[in-house]
Amino acid sequence: WLYFGHRLQSLNALKYFLLICGPVSSILYYELDIKELKYAYIGCKGVATTYKLFWDLYFDWGLFRGKGCHCLLRDKEIMKFPPCFYYISIIIDIIGLYWWVGVLYVYSIVDTPEDWNIGNEEFFNQVTWITWATLIVYMIRRTIWVLIRVENEFFSNFEEFRDIVTI
């Protein structure tokens, strides 16, 4: 990324570093049994998710750059879809990115070690449905993300994929 002059990619790498900090603190919490690491997990995950949301909306989708009545979107000339599609997509992106908060809440309801037994049928059913719901939410979010990301790149050529620097 430095060779081609894409200095913003270092900020993108920061996003992925922050996303890794959450699971690392979670693993350390379960292995070392230090209660403070639970709050480190929530804090790291919250900061990383918020940063990822900003990156998705501003850099990947090119939103918040418009003028006039659709100031949260792009200019009308570079929007393929109607404005309501983008607003609904923002809401779906927020729900998809912060889905982990709901999952964390559902798992915090079952707090006794007896309920976490993998042989417990109720626990197994709960994990199965949460996993399926998470997969469906992420698939919908990612599909919409790709549609708007490709559309933004087509109209704005932000990463200059069409310029041939070297052969």
Contact criterion met (CB below 8 Å) for 130 and 109:
no
Question: Does the pLDDT of residue 1 top 50, yes or no?
Answer: no
Residue 164 is predicted with a pLDDT of: 45
Vertex 105 angle, CA 100 and 22, to 5°: 40
Count CA atoms closer than 13 A to 134's CA, side-chain side: 15
**Range name among 23-32, 41-50, 152-161 with the lowest pLDDT average:** 152-161
Question: Does the pLDDT of residue 65 top 80, yes or no?
Answer: no
Identify the band that residue 166 occupies on the pLDDT scale cut at 50, 70 and 90: very low
Could you give the residue ranges of the DSSP H alpha helices within the chain? 8-32, 36-54, 83-97, 99-109, 121-156
80-128 pLDDT, tens digit per residue, is 788 889 889 999 999 999 999 988 887 765 555 555 555 556 666 677 8
Supply the pTM of this predicted model: 0.79
Mean pLDDT score, 64-87:
76
Residue 47 is predicted with a pLDDT of: 94
